[in-house]
Amino acid sequence: MKTAPTNKKIREIITLVKEGKLVPRPEFQRRLVWTREDKNHFLDSVLKGYPFPEIYLADGEVDLETGQGTQLLVDGLQRVNTMIQYFFADPELKLTTVPNYRDLPDGKKQAFLQYDVAVRDLGAVTRDQIVEVFRRINATNYALNDIEVNNAVYAGAFKQFAEQVASNPIFSDHKIFTSRDLKRMGDLRFALSVIIGILGGYTNRDDAFEAFLDKYNDDFECAEPVRQRLDSVFDFLNECGFDDRSRIWRKADLYTAVIELDRIINLERIRLQPSEAVERLTEFFETIDSSSVDSSDLSGMYYKAALQASNDRVNRVRRGIIFAGVVKGIDESQIRVELSSAVG
């Protein structure tokens, strides 16, 4: 792959973005991960004239009638985004050690706008090549995780539906995702896992992500039925009114709860009473919190399955069987029979 090194001034980059000729966040970019301190340090370096690593561009779409085209920002999202925020005084940019652009003397403003940004133009390359370049040049502090790689390849119907699920208020209301989860697409990973679990049963970690994202990239015909099923589960959980300190709001436990409650409510058509579900689960969760990994009772088995390799299929199945048995009030001996039959 041949690449052409060149320079673009900050003012040129700002103009290209403003005119829509440079796309600063195409779908293969991950979410912003820079902290306030990162942005302050970067802007301080620019204002003092220090260099920073080059950004990568690639050719985008070309209008064959007008000859007008776009370029895609393959790497450098945080840098370009911060420069634009700074110039336009974006209120989301919280500066602590750097003066606002509008407060700079004219000479400093001129120097900022005329700053030469090192650019490497990849030219006309395929989407797969762009993704591979992005993967390779980001193998440092914020190395891509699997979901970010899949996000780089698939931007279609299934991923968009998962993003809608991840935005459900139940997750923010109960603080399910940490700031790091949100930066590194942990919320999207969780939503994908839940949807795949509902459609195809428990899988090993994220092994099924690519297959589902590829299969339903163009169309996801069962989006509405799945949405309705999830809404009924979320409505039930809200009606239960579990305390915010309840174990059910931990990611591994909530994942199990959503999958199993969907099976019970929507597939088995069992009419669970919220008060009974809360009483049974609260009592069970209390025994888990006082249990140990070595315990041989159901709470110990659940605790171990939630603690060690919690995303492995066998542990997801164990948690599911125990959770469903508890919430339906099934006798412990029967739950053990089902466990033995399912996972040995």
Decide if 54 is inside a domain: yes
Q: What is the pLDDT of residue 142?
A: 45
Those residues whose C-beta lies under 8 Å from the C-beta of residue 51, and which sit 6 or more positions away, are: 118
In this structure, are 223 and 291 located in the same domain? yes
Q: What is the pLDDT of residue 184?
A: 79
Q: Which one-letter amino acid corresponds to residue 231?
A: D
In this structure, are 139 and 267 located in the same domain? no
In this structure, are 246 and 131 located in the same domain? no
In this structure, are 206 and 328 located in the same domain? yes
In this structure, are 222 and 158 located in the same domain? yes
In this structure, are 163 and 73 located in the same domain? no
Q: What is the pLDDT of residue 181?
A: 87
In this structure, are 297 and 173 located in the same domain? yes
C-alpha to C-alpha distance for 116 and 327, rounded to whole angstroms = 63
Token output for 125 = 């390359």
Decide if 148 is inside a domain: no
Phi-psi region of 339 (alpha: psi -120 to 50; beta: other; left: phi over 0): alpha
Predicted TM-score (pTM) of this structure: 0.63
Residue 120, classed as helix, strand or coil, is: strand
Q: What is the pLDDT of residue 233?
A: 98
C-alpha to C-alpha distance for 211 and 154, rounded to whole angstroms = 11
In this structure, are 314 and 166 located in the same domain? yes
C-alpha to C-alpha distance for 225 and 187, rounded to whole angstroms = 21
Q: What is the pLDDT of residues 162-207, one digit of tens each?
A: 999 999 999 999 999 998 888 778 899 999 999 999 999 999 888 8
Residue position matching structure tokens 């297959």: 211
In this structure, are 292 and 173 located in the same domain? yes
In this structure, are 87 and 159 located in the same domain? no
Please give the C-alpha separations between residue 298 and each of 55, 262, 281, 324, 333, in angstroms, as whole numbers: 54, 22, 13, 12, 10
Q: Looking at 93, 112, 143, which one is the last position of a domain?
A: 143
Count other C-beta atoms under 10 Å from residue 342's C-beta: 12
* pLDDT per 10-residue tile (average), the chain, 344 residues: 81 93 68 72 93 85 82 86 93 89 94 93 80 65 53 72 95 93 87 95 86 85 96 97 94 96 97 96 88 74 84 91 96 92 76
In the chain, how many domains are there? 2
The range of the structural domain enclosing residue 104 comes to 4-143
Q: What is the pLDDT of residue 141?
A: 44
Decide if 33 is inside a domain: yes
Q: Looking at 88, 122, 143, which one is the last position of a domain?
A: 143
Token output for 86 = 């700074």
